[in-house]
Amino acid sequence: MAKVEFLGPLGRPSIEVDIANLSELKTFFKDDQELQDWLAICAVAVNDTLVCDLNIPLSKEDKISLLPPVCGG
Amino acid sequence: MLELHDGSLHVNTILADWYAKISDKNYGAFIPFVGIVRDEDGIEGLSFDIYEPILNSWFNAWQERAKAQNAYLLMAHSRGDVPNHTSSYIAAVVSPKRKVALTMINDFVEDFKANAPIWKYDLVDGKRVYAKERSHVLSGSGLLKADV
C-alpha cells in the first residue's frame, strides 16, 4: 500500500491506499468534497520530489505528499 | 548551512556563530537578511510548519548554485510559534566580492518565498489561522483535482 501524507494546513492523518499510479489516487479522492477544494491548489510529491504526471507508476513502498501553497519567512 | 529552531530565532547568537564560522575563510562580503514578525492586523505572531525532506533538497540545490559562484549560503528558520517583534527567518550569503552576494540574497529569498515547503499561520486569539491568501502555489498544483 502506498502512503499518502497531507502536509501543513491539510491537517489530516496519513492514509495507505492500494493504487498503481496517481491517476488512481485522483479517482480515489474524487468524492471527497472537502479535499477537492484543497486539491485544486495542492502540489504533489512522490518520494519527496514534486511531480506533474498522473501516469508515474507507484509501488507499495512509495510515499505521496500533498503540499498546499507555501509561505516561509 | 541550514538550521531549524523551535520558536523565535536568537538572532544575535546565530549571526555571531555564522560570522565566527566564515570570518577566516577569506570571504569579503557577508550579507545577512533578518526577517522580523510584524504586529499587523491584530495578530499575536506567526506559526510555521516545515516539511524537511523537500526543504533540504531545495536548499542543497541552492547551495550548489552558490558554490558555482564561489559563494556560500546560510539559513535559519523557526518551527512553531514566533511572537511579534521576534525573528523567524535569517538568510545570509557570503562571497569573495559583494556583488555576487547582494544579487544572490535577493534571488534566494524570493525563491524561498515561492518554493520552500513551509506553511505560515497567523496567531489570532491563541489559535493558528492558515495564511492562505499570502501563500504561493507550488509547481504542478491541481494535479489530483477531479475533472469537472
Q: What is the ipTM of this complex?
A: 0.95
In sequence order, which residues have a C-beta less than 8 Å from that of residue A45 and are 6 or more positions away?
A: A51, A64, A65, A67, B54
| pLDDT value at residue B14 | 98
- CATH number where B105 lies: 3.90.1170.40
Tell me the average pLDDT across A14-35: 96
| pLDDT value at residue B48 | 98
Domain total for chain B? 1
* B142 located within any domain: no
User: Which residue segment(s) compose the domain that B11 sits in?
Assistant: 2-125
Q: How far is B4 from chain A (nearest CA, A)?
A: 12
Of the candidates A17, A32, A22, the one whose C-alpha atom is nearest the C-alpha of residue A56 is: A22
Q: Tell me if B132 and A45 make a contact (CB, 8 A cut-off).
A: no
* B104 located within any domain: yes
User: Which residue segment(s) compose the domain that A63 sits in?
Assistant: 2-67
Number of residues assigned to chain A: 73
Please give the mean pLDDT across all residues of chain A.
Answer: 96
Q: Which of B43, B75, B111, B143 to mutate to test the interface with A (most CBs of A within 10 A)?
A: B143
- CATH number where A11 lies: 3.10.20.30
Say if residue B148's pLDDT is above 90: no
* A73 located within any domain: no
* B140 located within any domain: no
Instruction: Give per-residue pLDDT as tens, B6-65.
Output: 999 999 999 999 999 999 999 999 999 999 999 999 999 999 999 999 999 999 999 999
Using an 8 Å CB-CB cutoff, list chain A residues near B140: 43-44, 50-52
